[in-house]
Structure 1
Amino acid sequence: MANVSIARRYARALLDVASEAGRTDAVAEQLSAFASIFAKNPELSDVINNPAYTRTQVSQVVEGVMKAVPGGVDPVLASTLRLLVDRNRLPYLGDIARLFGDMADARAGRVRGRVTSAAPLPADALARLQQTLQQVTQRNVILETRVDPSLLGGVSAQVGSILYDGSLRTQLEEMRRELKQR
């Protein structure tokens, strides 16, 4: 619980500063990329999580990663990353990135969703599905697509915490349950 409250504090502060600068989406993208880099690289993850490394060593690693980013890091994010290093809060980077993205989406009236289908969906079908979900949720829906052949057919869509399941697999399972009850 303390981890989330600490991360929420930093995410909210970063969101306020990024919003004032009009750079919320750019900061969200870069922050997510940074969190992913540190999470996927065991050596970098060790540097930020292992107390054996000094603050100076951690700072040098973070500065090196920031310099390696093509086009440079947004100044708002660079300041935040330095602050996280100074306060030994860099291990919360993944939680901060997740919460920042959620808060930025909520502030912009967006909601993220995942569409899973048995085969890749044509662009026009995906656009119609997105439009329908936007009408149902009364929010701008950003969809991520996934292919899962085990669905057999149809589509399932999760928007926020709500699952709309129109997959053939689920329909067949429902029919099986009904037949067993008879």
Structure 2
Amino acid sequence: MEIEEEILKKIPFFNGLSEEHLGLLKKIITVKEFAEGTEVIKEGKIGEEIYILLNGEVEVSKSLVLNLPGMNLGQMEKSLTKLTSAGFPFFGEMVLFTDKAERTATVITTKPCTFAIIYKSDFINLAESNKEIGYILYKNIATVLAERLRKANNDILKLTTALTLVLSK
């Protein structure tokens, strides 16, 4: 299955790319469908691809406890968010910034989903062969990561405030 250029134009991850750029990008995108209840990404596993949700809904969850040597604290996960295809969200982008990128969360489909998948090696080759595309895509990723970091910082502040209040009683 091939992705249509009209869809590519709507995906925020590709903002600022020209028609020519989108044509080159289209060549490295694989479109794949997943059934409801499919684990797309597993926290802690090594990944090699970025996913863009084209259709459907996923749940993103994270382990609540660290797996420390010699301690069995059990498996407790917290659902962080549900993502729908409305804004064409992407995840798995951390693979672009390190050699062995461990997934930082688990993503499971809650409805049948269609994803655009870009493999790290294809992305890097395209970004290196066309610096303009590389610059635009990395800038778009950085913008999203900065927003996610801001939100995570606010969440940490809320948690430390709550912990401080509980411990001060």
- Per the normalisation by structure 1, the TM-score is 0.24
Structure in which a larger fraction of residues adopt strand:
2
Higher helix fraction (1 or 2): 1
Q: Which fold has the larger relative contact order, with Cα–Cα distance below 8 Å and residues 6 or more apart in sequence?
A: 2
Larger Cα Rg: Structure 1 or Structure 2? 1
